[in-house]
Structure formats: structure tokens, C-alpha cells
């Protein structure tokens, strides 16, 4: 006589295949941030740089949904437009760090002689705090969107290089790589065909963390006054201008900080979910 199947087992397995509610919520928040960035002119009530001295530091109302700042500018409109800068900076830093770090990591993991030179260079870059290196680069050049992206991207490159190198070193010990070497496969073909695919999954996860870190670093640079010019609305600039009036008008810092925190938290949660899905060891633990 066969034992009847547990009716709860298919449900549990099916539930494990469905995305967790935190992933759905994170995707919804990121989709809202992306919609804000794309549709900023349509969603904003006023031009973000429009000054109205007669309406300085006004509380939330039907006209000014989140109030106004010290220059009478609509806070809601400035936050909406600030999403453009943050998302562009995050995407630019993540893409640039991977495009530069990936080939360097592949070369360091395969060529032993080059590995020693590259990794000592990466160690030297990692010894300098990322925010200090970004401040120094921006201070030595003209502050602008491209400059800020480059300044934030440079400290992120060593992390990508070390990650790719570790994956390449692990893949080199696999039997299929050793067999390809014995068959005389040229190094460029072996790297592109066998080693590069082993780095894709961890790079996707790392890109999400770089994206979140870049957004936070850009806000910190703008808050310190060494980021993008104050004429361009960013979440960091909005908080920097509002901190002088925080005791009287706390919403000037509260609202951009909430939007920034939700965006970064959503990206990190999405990165954790991708890691659980793409990493076989983590997936095995979850099952």
C-alpha cells in the first residue's frame, strides 16, 4: 500500500518558487523611482528651480504638496527631479565599474605574473576610504555629473576586480577548464567561453550593491557641498539646504531622506534576493 502524498508539500514548494513580498515591494518602489525620473516634468507641479520669495518655508498645502524650501521652491518638484540624478549616477557607476573591473579581474585570475601587479594596485586603492578619494577627485576637477560618476566609480573598481579574480581562480580548478587547456584551447577563447560565464551571476548581484552605494555616496558628496552644483536638484543638495532650518522646518530634510532611504533599501533587498537565486549554495540553504 502506497503512502499518500502530503498535500501541504506541493503548496510549500509552489510558495518557495513565488517571489517574496519584500522583493515585490522593492520592485514596486524602484519602479516608482524610475517613473519619477522619466516623467519628472509631467509629475512636478512647478519648475524645480522656480524661486518664489513670498512663499518661503511654507508647510504642505494643496498648492505645495510637501511645502517649500528657503527660496520658496516647491519641495515635491525638487525631489521628483532629484531622482533623475541619483538613478543616472547609480547606473553610470555600476556600469563603469563592471566594464573596467571585469577584464582586469579576468586577466588577474588567469595570468599569474599580471596578478601580482594588478592586485597590489587594487590593494593600494582599497586602502583609501572611498568617500575621501571621491572628495579629492571632485575637489581637483570641476564638479559635474560626469566627474561625480568617475569619482564614485574609481573606488568601486577594486571590489569588482577581486570578485572576478576569485571566481576565475575557482573556475580554473574545474575539470572542464583543465580539459580545455589539455586540448590546447587558446587563452582568449578559454577565458571568454569558460571563465567569463562563471562571473556573470556574482557580477549581477555586485552591481546592485554598487548601484545603492553610488546613490548614497552621491547624496553624501552633495550634502558636503562637493558634489553636483546646487543649481541641479539632487536629494543630497535638498537635505544640505534644509539642514539649516531643520529645527523649524524638519520636512525639508525628512522627505528627501525618506525617499533616499527607501530607494537604497529596495536595491539592497533586491540584491539579496538575486544572490539567493543565483548562488547555488544560498539556493540550497533556502530549499
Q: Is the model's pLDDT at 264 over the cut of 90?
A: yes
Q: Is the model's pLDDT at 35 over the cut of 70?
A: yes
- Of 205, 207, 211, 116, nearest in space to 165 by CA: 116
- pLDDT tens, position by position, 137-184: 888 877 788 888 999 999 999 999 999 999 888 888 778 777 877 777
- pLDDT tens, position by position, 38-80: 998 898 888 888 888 888 888 888 888 888 888 889 999 999 9
User: Would you place residue 13 in the very low, low, confident or very high pLDDT band (cuts 50, 70, 90)?
Assistant: very low
Q: Is the model's pLDDT at 282 over the cut of 70?
A: no
Domains observed in the chain: 20-48+59-279 (1.10.3720.10)
Task: Write down the pLDDT at residue 185.
Answer: 73
Between CA 19 and CA 31, with CA 25 as vertex, the angle to 5 degrees is: 110
- Cβ-based neighbour number of residue 95 at 10 Å: 15
Task: Write down the pLDDT at residue 173.
Answer: 78
Q: Is the model's pLDDT at 280 over the cut of 60?
A: no
In this structure, of 15-24, 185-194, 202-211, 222-231, the range with the lowest mean pLDDT score is 15-24
User: Would you place residue 14 in the very low, low, confident or very high pLDDT band (cuts 50, 70, 90)?
Assistant: very low
Q: Specify which residues 74 forms β-bridges with.
A: 68
Task: Write down the pLDDT at residue 21.
Answer: 82
Residue 23 vs residue 17, higher pLDDT? 23
What 3 state SS string does the chain have? CCCCCCCHHHHHHHHHHCCCHHHHHHHHHHHHHHHHHHCHHHHCCCCCCCCCHHHCCCCCCCCCCCCECCCCCEHHHHHHHHHHHHHHHHHHHHHHHHHHHHHHHHHHHHCHHHHHHHHHHHHHHHCCCHHHHHHHHHHHCCCCHHHHHHHHHHHHHHHHHHHHHHHHHHHHCCHHHHHHHHCCCCHHHHHHHHHHHHHHHHHHHHHHHHHHHHHHHHHHHHHHCCCCCCCCCCHHHHHHHHHHHCCCCCHHHHHHHHHHHHHHHHHHHHHHHHHHHHCHHHHHHHC
Q: Is the model's pLDDT at 88 over the cut of 90?
A: yes
Amino acid at each position: 500500500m502506497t503512502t499518500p502524498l502530503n498535500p501541504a508539500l506541493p503548496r510549500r514548494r509552489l510558495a518557495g518558487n513565488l517571489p517574496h513580498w519584500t522583493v515585490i515591494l522593492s520592485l514596486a518602489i524602484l519602479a516608482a523611482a524610475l517613473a519619477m525620473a522619466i516623467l519628472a516634468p509631467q509629475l512636478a507641479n512647478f519648475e524645480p528651480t522656480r524661486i518664489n520669495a513670498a512663499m518661503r518655508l511654507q508647510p504642505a498645502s494643496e498648492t505645495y504638496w510637501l511645502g517649500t524650501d528657503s527660496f520658496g521652491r516647491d519641495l515635491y518638484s525638487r525631489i521628483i527631479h532629484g531622482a533623475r540624478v541619483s538613478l543616472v549616477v547609480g547606473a553610470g557607476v555600476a556600469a563603469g565599474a563592471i566594464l573596467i573591473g571585469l577584464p582586469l579581474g579576468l586577466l588577474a585570475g588567469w595570468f599569474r605574473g599580471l596578478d601580482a601587479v594588478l592586485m597590489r594596485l587594487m590593494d593600494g586603492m582599497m586602502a583609501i576610504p572611498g568617500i575621501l578619494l571621491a572628495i579629492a577627485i571632485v575637489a581637483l576637477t570641476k564638479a559635474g555629473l560626469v566627474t561625480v560618476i568617475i569619482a564614485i566609480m574609481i573606488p568601486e573598481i577594486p571590489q569588482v576586480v577581486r570578485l572576478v579574480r576569485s571566481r576565475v581562480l575557482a573556475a580554473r580548478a574545474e575539470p572542464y577548464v583543465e580539459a580545455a587547456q589539455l586540448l590546447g584551447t587558446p587563452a582568449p577563447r578559454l577565458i571568454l567561453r569558460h571563465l567569463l560565464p562563471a562571473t556573470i551571476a556574482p557580477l549581477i548581484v555586485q552591481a546592485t550593491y554598487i548601484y545603492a552605494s553610488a546613490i548614497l555616496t552621491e547624496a553624501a558628496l552633495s550634502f558636503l557641498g562637493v558634489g553636483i552644483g546646487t543649481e541641479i536638484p539632487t536629494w543630497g543638495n535638498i537635505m544640505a539646504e534644509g539642514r539649516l532650518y531643520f529645527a523649524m522646518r524638519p520636512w525639508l530634510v525628512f522627505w528627501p531622506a525618506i525617499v533616499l532611504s527607501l530607494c537604497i533599501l529596495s536595491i539592497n533587498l533586491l540584491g539579496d534576493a538575486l544572490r539567493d537565486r543565483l548562488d547555488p549554495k544560498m539556493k540550497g540553504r533556502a530549499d
